[in-house]
Amino acid sequence: MTSRFEILHKDAAGRIGKLITRRGVVETPTVMPVINPNIQSIKPSEMQNFGAQMLITNSYIIYRNEELREKALKEGLHSLLGFEGPIMTDSGSFQLSVYGEVEITNEQIVDFQQKIGSDIVVPLDIPTPPNVTREQTEIELNTTIQRLKAAKELIKDDIMLAGPVQGSNYADLREKCARILSEINFDVYPFGAVVPLMETYRYSELVDVIISAKKGLDPSAPVHLFGAGHPMMFALAVSLGCDLFDSAAYALYAKDKRYITTTGTYHVDKLQYLPCSCPICVSYTAEKLKRASNCEELLARHNLYVTFEEIRHVKQSIKEGNLLELVEQRCRAHPRLLSALKQMYKYSDWLEQYDPVSKSTFFYCGPESSMRPEVMRFSHRLNRFSLKGKALIRASSMRIDSEFDHVLLFRPPFGAFPEELSEIYPFNTESIHIHDYESLEKAYLNVLKLIELNPDVEFTFILSERFKHPLIEKLKQVATVILNY
């Protein structure tokens, strides 16, 4: 769709990519630290030391401040911030969502962003929050689309233009907006007005918003999740196909003396130990950090280190093909994230389109793993097994194997498959010895489906005690079941 984004590696719907800007290549997924031109707890020139390749700032704040505006127009945005890498500028939409109005037009702010040298320009869209009426959402969405079309006509060729996808929490409107913007062809697609969902821990609804918008976009389009700055949700968002994040959390949390980790947030006053090995945490004890005169700055630095450490962890997981395992681990850090994980797997059919067929090893991390796209894919392809005569299904080798035309290995959560495939992904699963209800249920449902697809085959199923499940009674109606307890 766009020649400015190249996908290098994929896992689930996540990917490692290259975003090509006029000031260099940015490897995604990545986080853009938010820079407030008026308040800088950490200088933008230092951001590369933490791992930042790109920054984002608010052009409306610069525009409203006469001194900043004149300096930006005279010397340029990069000189103003002291950062030579790519810089994205927001338009004032955030202020619009908070205060209800801004003192600038869409055309004026797009023109201003270009004049100060922004690398990625964001038009003045209307960020419709959750829980507004459908009528209001549609009115504001139409205005947003008209403004984005107008901005497209104003932009210069070498400057990238973002097309924010709006639609509140109406899935069909998000998808509709994405389809329209995709036809216009923007360089980056931010998903806007999602901060209220994150602030209220409505992560399941966030999953719906992301996937509905993704369905309307070309799969190769780079996606920016506006306002997502806490590392505990990066793995989930990346697995759904988000490439860029922006974070003011490192500074805002530090101002409130909050200490970020990949599994949650601590108030520094309650910490007895620092559970981190970043340069700040190895140089200070919890008590010294609390008493430090520059505690806020130190916390902001720690928060940035943790933020980019998690991004690197996510990238490594994509390379190794175990991103969903990381997602399942991270989502167990909070009940609302766990709900989001369950919600995501309701879209396993959608995920399966993008998930690579071949990886390394399938690790079973809990009941939700039985809902993964690999399991869904296997269930859809059971009709590819053509069986005749007598088939034995068992969990381990037995003396009677030679008496059967086919020997199938039983391994939850997949079910039964030819033993020759046992070392091939995803059947090389690392699983628990005493299987949980969900993995057994999925496996038995797949076995029943396999039997139904091969009505002329005589099936014998040998089971041990660790495979007890209510569905065994249903299996007895269609196969010979031997309970080897």
Active-site positions? 90
Strand order in the sheet with 480-483: 415-418, 406-411, 390-394, 458-463, 480-483
Q: Quickly tell me which residue has 């995604």 as its tokens.
A: 28
Sign of the torsion angle spanned by Cα atoms 349, 353, 354, 357:
positive
C-alpha distances (whole Å) from 184 to each of 2, 296, 357 are 11, 44, 32
- Distance, in Å, from the CA atom of 100 to the CA atom of 181, rounded to the nearest integer, reads 24
Please give the torsion angle defined by the CA atoms of residues 256, 261, 263 and 266, in that order, rounded to the nearest 10 degrees.
-40
Cα 447 from chain centre: 33
φ, ψ of residue 231 to 5 degrees: the values are -65, -20
Q: Is 359 helix (H, G, I), strand (E, B) or coil?
A: coil
**CA angle, 20 then 26 then 27, to 5°:** 115
- Distance, in Å, from the CA atom of 133 to the CA atom of 309, rounded to the nearest integer, reads 40
Please name which of 484, 306, 288 lies closest in space to residue 400, comparing C-alpha atoms: 484
263-289 burial, b at 16+ Cβ within 10 Å, e below that, comes to: eeebebeebeebebebebbeebebeeb
